[in-house]
Structure 1
Amino acid sequence: MEKFRELGLDGEILKGIADLGFETPSPVQEKAIPVILGEENDLVVLAQTGTGKTAAFGLPLLQKINPEWNSVQILVLSPTRELCMQIGSDLKKYSKYLPDIRVTCVYGGTDIRRQMKELQKGVHVVVATPGRLVDLLNRKALNIETVFAVVLDEADEMLNMGFQEDLDFILSNTPKDKNTYLFSATMPKEVERIARNYLVNQKEISVGKKNQGADTVSHQYYMVRAKDCYETLRRIVDCAPSMYAIIFTRTKNDAQDIAKHLQRDGIDCDALHGDLSQAQRDNVMNAFRAKRLKVLVATDVAARGLDVDCLTHVINYNLPEDVESYTHRSGRTGRAGKEGISIAIIHSKEKGKLRRIEGILKKKFEYKQVPVGEEICRAQLAFYADKILASEDQEDMDLYAPDVYEKFAELTKEELIQHLVSYEFGKLLKKYKNTADLNISEDDRGGRSERGERGDRGDRRDRRGRGEETVYSTFMLNVGREDGLTPRDLMGLINKYSRRRGIGVGGIRIFDTDTKFEIDEESASDFAVDFSKVLFNGIPLEIKAIPTRDNGRRRDDRSRGEFSGRRERRDRDKRDSRGGGRREEKSGGKRRGRPGSDPKKPRNFNRSSSRG
């Protein structure tokens, strides 16, 4: 506590942080507190999330407040409701022994009238999200012309979320002689523009280098085939029983689908994305903060500004498009001096993007092998044994112990342990018995295409070159036009989830509620099994093979997409006459039947798919 006193803090502030267990200031606090307390300079602070930034600006600014001046003196802007609430809660804890100082939070998603009544009582510190603050200013419900300090917390996040105009409007309504303190994890050009336009005689404090990741975070990557990404994710989660993590995806559909798959596989998780109402979002976050959820699956937009302590892992199911986003993702773990792990699951074509991120972060990513079943089972059993040994609540066991001892009297210690493990972990051991190795070869990790994929394509070209006919099998899918399915969607599903490469696809006919399509017979034997756990727009896919009159055989020189049988041809004609059955299939970028299309060439899925 003496070191905080040496920085210039005194009296009731020191008592407040002593109750919170503060002993030694973090690097960012040690650098920022004296500047904010003793000088009239504006300040740019570059530091990762979780380094103690709230205390770095909150403690000195609370000490400078005049409680007798009943007006807003400090304005703190944050990108999200969650971070806004967290900052407000921290400031109230810091000012525990300053009862005359009033702090309030204003943010969207709640009744603005209640917040207006709170402001009418008079407050000294307002913590706000930009959108709600603009609403209050337009309603003349808040006057910020009296503030002496404005804090822009996670400024890069606010700009990424599109608050540029709101920030300009808010800052233009504050006094010119105020101090502005800009805190940011990264320094993109937009943040530099804010600093250039609104800060005067600013100093810059940097904890680490610009855009560089925190030293407390180690970076790892797993390189697998695109179709194996979910299985890899599940194994990573299962192999770390004590994991407490956020899994990042690019899209809300990915977040929903992955969360549903993990829930079905017995993992406590939920999804956080833009389609949730504020009440649903609060429920998910409350459960995650209370650690009733092991993992949270979230998009970047939904997770911005989240302030959750003690995360052990961050998992990038999809790499983000820019390094700043990766920096924010990885910064969710390794906070407050604790160690954390940031994991990226990639396929071979993403190796270049990973190397670019390494170069900018100045961090080396460690390649990891995907865990096999034996490794996962050992980790789970060890965790379970540690939990049993750590159990101390045995007060009531004396009453029931004789009955239990009698039940197990005939068993040896080894037999009892085997029964216990089998009862608790029988399903897990069965699930991971004889699991496949998902790791790809060293050559493939170097960025070359998968050898098996090249071989499959070459074989098919040779067969077609020799004039041999392609044999197709027909399948029915339980989603159609009304569910939003397009031929492109179907091709993407096949490319992503089929274990085989170079699958030849024949005709595709999309109806209102189902779809009929053809797959080359060589790939058809176990084709439907690959889709047993796949969702499309939240609908579990069901794929069934349909026996045809000629056992699915047809020659390549037949019109692709024309299913044999008069009944199907008649049904097609009827649907066409109603305008609802027009073919949607394309070949080589051209609709079938137009000049330049080649009806003899089957479509092959041999590209590495994108998981976004």
Structure 2
Amino acid sequence: MTETTMTFNDLGLPEFILNAVSDLGFSMPSPIQQTCIPHLLAGQDVLGMAQTGSGKTAAFSLPLLAQIDTEQKHPQMLVMAPTRELAIQVADACEQFVKYAKGIRIVTLYGGQRYDIQLRALKQGAQVVVGTPGRILDHIRRNTLDLSELRFIVLDEADEMLRMGFIDDVETVMAELPEQHQTALFSATMPEPIRRITKRFMNDPQEIKIQSTQRTAPDITQSCWYVHGFRKNEALLRFLEVEDFDAAIIFTRTKTGTLDVTELLEKHGFRAAALNGDMTQQLREQTLDRLRNGSLDILVATDVAARGLDVERISLVVNYDIPLDAESYVHRIGRTGRAGRAGRALLFVEPRENRLLKNIERLTKKPIDEVEVPNHSALQECRRKKFVAQITKQLEHHDLDQYRSLLEDLFTADQDQEDIAAAMLMLLQGKQKLILPPDPPIEKRGRRERGERRDRRENPRSAERRGYGNPQPMDLYRIEVGRGDGVEVRHIVGAIANEGDINSRYIGHIKLYDDYSTIELPQGMPKELLQMFDKTRVMNKQMRMSFIGEVKGGDSRDEREGGRRRSGEEKRGFSRGGRGDDFARGERRFKEKNYRTFDDKPRRERRDRRK
């Protein structure tokens, strides 16, 4: 029996949608689009589990936009996304899908944009609203967004909204909706808080599960370099020089890292720019426009800043810092190889990060091949090819005869022309030498052999000890805000995640006490970032973050992952071994080991006076 291929024409979409999809060059729907579109057109709730890059934006946009009543000028469709970048991307996609429809207006609501711009767009009668949970809730409370007649709501990347501390805002918005509405929820994973939303707010949803990204992803060639013999900066420059890419995105863990790597690349002649949470929205959009139009070739970004980024030119992703969890790696490499295009992903792995690499391979169900840093021969070959291409192009210049006569005037007839050409080569090569000395010998060791001894020394449960299954060693900090200030765990998570541009999954256990709190953060945090946290405000009060010591042993699951909530007095102390050690006892133990403690009020006052 012959197998028929489904097209968008077979899904029952109206002509204005089909024309727009055709202009975008799409003819065959992805698996999630084939399954979701008929259910949403039929008015059913949909619960979709799919990774980024699977085509879920079109899966919910096409059928819901097809049902918008252009005669009604009130919000009919609401899409909530975890980040402003993703919200902007979804809104842009919707604009493209309805370009042949008259009277459909789309507004984007997110933090960082002036309220008057958003208010003006809402007053003009937008039927489609796309935004982040916090800003949407702000407009609801200001009575500038009326959802009383909303027909459709979409929660995009719901698990990411949970990790970023937005789940309470999402539930508050959902409670404002009319009883009769259609819901579509998409999430890569299905933790209990997300499952609770589906049971509370969805009506007999059709569950659709698309297999791992690696089965539906485009052609992405993945490889890793085990950091050895070269510094990461030097290795990065070598890889970028020999890689054939149109545009690239380089991921670092921190905002400081984006600035350092960008400065390095600009110094060596690459057209690069940073993308992080410190930038204004206008500057971020200008940077992305430069990347799209070709005036910028390399973007250096954090996970949060690059969330939802979709630029066709990106053909290379470099993980300069390995992500602390495997799902972030899948999201990162999803920035390349979009819409069926081929892509390349490179991962830098330090010896102590061998376990993180194994977690990634376990999730993707695919080994990542190891590569070596390009040696001096590869660099020479690449530079010479580029040099020859430049000279060949210049040979076609119409003024070449004038320069040939100038050459005869400058040099006598008895000088060898080959010697003259060789001297010119030396002058023209600049800093990128065409002849390189051999690299010093580097001891070669297999990837599995490296780090094996370290892994054996580790407790086998170490990868599960810390928050969200995070194997990263953690340090404990004290912050001077607590339960008495009206602070909740989500407030602290939001402040750390937003100010530090850190994914909340990297934040460990948080304990609330009456007048202070403790928080676990990964070891090796940049000094500048910690200084910034010291001045960050939570509930209008400075955190004044202070280092206590290294977290040792025990199970450190975060309360936000569904763990049993306990009061500060009931929670375990620093031993974290489950023996009921209290916080004061933990502090005494750190004093005995000469760790700094922060209960010395006179010392703090003297320090403040010195400042």
Class of the TM-score when normalised by the shorter of the 2 chains: 0.5 to 0.7
Instruction: Say whether residues 1:345 and 2:345 are aligned partners.
Output: no
Matched, 1:363 2:366: yes
- Aligned 8 A contact 2:384 2:434 in 1: no
- Counterpart position of 1:175: 178
Q: Is residue 273–residue 287 contact of structure 2 (8 Å, CA) maintained in 1?
A: yes
Q: Distance in 2 between matches of 1:419 and 1:47?
A: 59
The residue aligned with 2:405 is: 406
Whole-Å separation in 2 of the counterparts to 1:130 and 1:323 = 26
Q: CA deviation at 1:408?
A: 6.2
Letter in 2 for 1:25: P
Could you tell me which residue of structure 2 aligns to residue 3 of structure 1? 7
Q: What does the per-residue CA deviation read over 1:329-357, in whole Å, with 9 as the maximum and x for residues that have no partner?
A: 12111211112222211122211221122
Unmatched runs of 5 consecutive residues or more in structure 1: 451-534, 539-585, 593-612
Whichever residue aligns with residue 6 of structure 1, its letter is D
2:222 to 196, 219, 223: 219
The structure whose Rg is larger is: 1
Structure 1 position 393, deviation (Å): 13
Letter in 2 for 1:403: Q
Q: 2-side partners of 1:392 and 1:21: how far apart? A: 37
Q: Which SS does the other structure have where 2:231 is aligned? A: helix
Q: How many residue pairs are counted as aligned between the two chains?
A: 456
Q: How far off its partner does 1:359 sit?
A: 0.9
Matched-pair contact (CA < 8 Å) for 2:148–2:177: yes
- How far has the Cα of 1:136 moved from its partner? 0.5
Q: Measure, in 2, the Cα distance between the counterparts of 1:393 and 1:201.
A: 70
1:88 aligns with 2:87: no
Distance in 1 (CA, whole Å) between partners of 2:391 and 2:434 is: 22
Hey, what's the Cα distance between the residues in 2 that align with 1:50 and 1:443?
Answer: 30
TM-score between the two structures when normalised by the length of structure 2: 0.67
Residue 30 of structure 2 corresponds to residue 26 of structure 1? yes
Instruction: Return the match for 1:372 from 372, 375, 380.
Output: 375
What letter corresponds to residue 96 of structure 1 in structure 2? K
How far is 1:368 from its partner? 0.6
Equivalents in 2 of 1:209, 1:261: separation in Å?
36
Q: CA offset at residue 56 of structure 1?
A: 1.9
| Bigger mean CA offset, 215-224 vs 405-414 | 405-414
Distance in 2 between the 1:121 and 1:52 partners?
Answer: 30
Q: Does structure 1 conserve the Cα–Cα contact (< 8 Å) formed by 2:51 and 2:213?
A: no
Residues 385-408 of structure 1, C-alpha deviations (whole Å, 9 max, x = no match): 56777x7997xx44x243144356
Instruction: After TM superposition, give the deviation of residue 366 of structure 1 in Å.
Output: 0.6
- Given that 1:312 and 1:339 are in contact with CA atoms closer than 8 Å, whether structure 2 keeps it comes out as yes
Q: 1:432-470: per-residue Cα shift (whole Å, max 9, x none)?
A: 5333456742388432579xxxxxxxxxxxxxxxxxxxx
Q: Which residue of 2 aligns with 1:70?
A: 73
RMSD: 3.5
Cα gap change, 1:100/1:127 in structure 2, threshold over 3 Å: closer, same or farther?
Answer: same
C-alpha contact (below 8 Å) 2:238/2:373 kept by paired residues: yes
CA distance in 1, matches of 2:195, 2:221: 28
State the one-letter code of the partner of 1:89.
D
Q: Is contact 2:218-2:339 (8 Å) kept?
A: no
For residues 143-292 of structure 1, what are the structure 2 equivalents within 5 Å? 143-209=146-212, 214=217, 216-225=219-228, 228-242=231-245, 244-292=247-295
Tell me the distance in 2 between the aligned counterparts of 1:46 and 1:211: 14
Q: Which residue of 2 aligns with 1:52?
A: 55
Contact 2:321 2:348 (C-alpha < 8 Å) held by counterparts: yes
Q: Which residue of 2 aligns with 1:13?
A: 17
Q: Which moved more, 1:440-449 or 1:61-70?
A: 440-449
Task: Give 1:18's aligned amino acid.
Answer: S
Question: Partners in 2 of 1:211 and 1:185 — Cα distance?
Answer: 13
> CA 1:267/1:412 → structure 2, altered by over 3 Å: closer, same or farther?
farther
Distance in 1 (alpha carbons) for counterparts of 2:172 and 2:594: 49
How far did 1:142 drift? 0.7
Post-superposition offset of 1:414? 8.1
Aligned-pair CA distance for 1:591: 8.2
SS state of the match for residue 266, structure 1?
coil
CA distance 1:221–1:61, shift in 2 (3 Å): same
Deviates more, 1:47-56 or 1:143-152: 47-56
Query: Does the 8 Å contact 2:326/2:356 carry over to 1?
Result: no
Change (3 A) 1:338 1:210: closer
**Corresponding residue SS for 1:336:** helix
The answer (yes or no) to whether the contact 1:249–1:317 under 8 Å persists in 2 is yes
C-alpha change, 1:443 and 1:167, in structure 2 (3 Å) is closer
Partner SS state of residue 66, structure 2: helix
Q: Residue type of the partner of 1:49?
A: T
The secondary structure found in structure 1 opposite 2:19 is helix
Distance, in Å, in 1 between the alignment partners of 2:139 and 2:316 is 38
Q: Supply the AA of the counterpart residue of 2:432.
A: L
Please tell me whether the aligned partners of residues 7 and 29 of structure 2 are also in contact (alpha carbons under 8 angstroms): yes
Are residues 187 and 246 of structure 1, via their aligned partners in 2, closer, same or farther at CA, if it must alter by over 3 Å? farther
Find the aligned partners of 1:112 and 1:211 in 2 and give their Cα distance: 41
Q: 1:128 to 1:313 in 2, by over 3 A?
A: same
Deviation at 1:296, TM superposition (A): 1.5
Q: Name the CA distance, whole Å, in 1 between partners of 2:10 and 2:47.
A: 22
Map 1:393-432 onto structure 2 (within 5 A): 397-398=397-398, 400-407=399-406, 422=426, 424-429=428-433, 432=436
CA distance in 2, matches of 1:422, 1:171: 68
Deviation at 1:150, TM superposition (A): 0.9
Structure 1 residues 401 and 348: alpha-carbon distance in aligned structure 2, compared to 1, 3 A threshold = same
Q: Is the 8 A contact 2:273 2:296 kept in 1?
A: yes
Q: Residue 518 of structure 2 corresponds to which residue in structure 1? A: none
TM norm structure 1: 0.67
Between the aligned partners of 1:364 and 1:413, the Cα distance in structure 2 is 54
Q: Percent identity?
A: 35
Q: Say whether residues 1:442 and 2:446 are aligned partners.
A: yes
Matched, 1:127 2:130: yes
**Distance verdict in 2 for CA 1:13–1:392, change over 3 Å:** farther
**By how many angstroms is 1:117 displaced?**
2.0
Instruction: Compute the displacement of 1:62 (Å).
Output: 1.4
Q: Deviations over 1:139-174 (max 9, x none)?
A: 000111212111122223322322111111111111
Question: Kindly tell me: are residues 315 and 443 of structure 1, through their superposed partners in 2, closer, same or farther at Cα, counting changes over 3 Å?
Answer: closer
Distance 1:6 1:233, change over 3 A: same
Letter of the 1:153 counterpart: D
Q: Which amino acid aligns with 1:269?
A: A
Residue 57 of structure 2 contacts residue 90 of structure 2 at CA under 8 Å; is this kept in 1? yes
Query: Could you say which residue in structure 1 is the equivalent of 2:503?
Result: none
Match of 2:333 in 1: 330
